[in-house]
Structure 1
């Protein structure tokens, strides 16, 4: 277990300003129901067509935190990748993403600070009609290289 190396994302020295990743995710009922079941969030704007029809949205919307989850999973899976962690984020949601909508997400590295071991990633998400549904920035700590698993490296101090 301790000797098997897991595939990590790219370290800070291998990241450059301008690198980007683009993903597309169609949000289905099952995705929303899984989120709502996990979070116990029963906000009627997410579920009830009769309620949502009487709001400016006109129909149920995708929970914003679900969009956030798609953004953070893109960081974890693609840029910088596995082993990364979020330090801070500032995201805005100017328009809603509706049920059965498609999120076209672009993440781009806009700053690399090797001294602080942080990259700043811009976030832009649009729906299938090219309307911005999320934008902002995140500070991300890219993965650190593996530490050797030996007694003299201090790795076992928690055991």
Structure 2
């Protein structure tokens, strides 16, 4: 794969429902057992009123697209910015998208990254990656 196989404006997206098992697995992995994510009784008393997924769980979904779908295997993350705009609740379906916005020198590229629950934008940022170079 070469940089010429990619063009600005290319976009890819995928959807995933965030279940309680996803939140528990992420909590264990990150060692973040904040009850706002895991305890419905506790979460009911917060500003959210119910359990919310970890923001970084939602942000981690970009890695699956970039590393496995577009640009795909061989892609290496260099950086990622994230702005958390709204909560993702346990049970929500999240659609994450990446759009190629700039081809950079040395085989790098910049992507707009967004996550939505329905029409609601919940997370946005930019990723810079090293594009795959397979021989």
TM bucket (normalised to shorter chain) is over 0.9
2:122 is equivalent to residue 133 of structure 1: yes
Partner residue in 1 for 2:77: 86
Q: For residues 43 and 98 of structure 1, what CA distance do their matches in structure 2 show?
A: 14
Q: Is the 8 A contact 1:17 1:111 kept in 2?
A: yes
2:54 is equivalent to residue 63 of structure 1: yes
Partner residue in 1 for 2:114: 124
Q: Which moved more, 1:50-59 or 1:133-142?
A: 50-59
Q: Which moved more, 1:93-102 or 1:30-39?
A: 30-39
TM-score (norm 2): 0.93
TM-score (norm 1): 0.80
Unaligned runs of 5+ in 2: none
Q: Which runs of 4+ in 1 moved over 4 A?
A: none
Q: For residues 39 and 101 of structure 2, what CA distance do their matches in structure 1 show?
A: 39
Unaligned runs of 5+ in 1: 1-9, 147-159
- Kindly tell me the number of residue pairs found equivalent between the two proteins: 135
**In the alignment, which of 9, 14, 32 is matched to residue 5 of structure 2?**
14
Q: Any idea what SS the aligned residue of 1:56 has?
A: coil
Q: For residues 86 and 54 of structure 2, what CA distance do their matches in structure 1 show?
A: 12
Partner residue in 1 for 2:44: 53
Between Structure 1 and Structure 2, the one with more strand by share is 2
The CA RMSD over aligned residues, in Å, is 1.2
2:37 is equivalent to residue 25 of structure 1: no
Q: Is the 8 A contact 2:74 2:134 kept in 1?
A: no
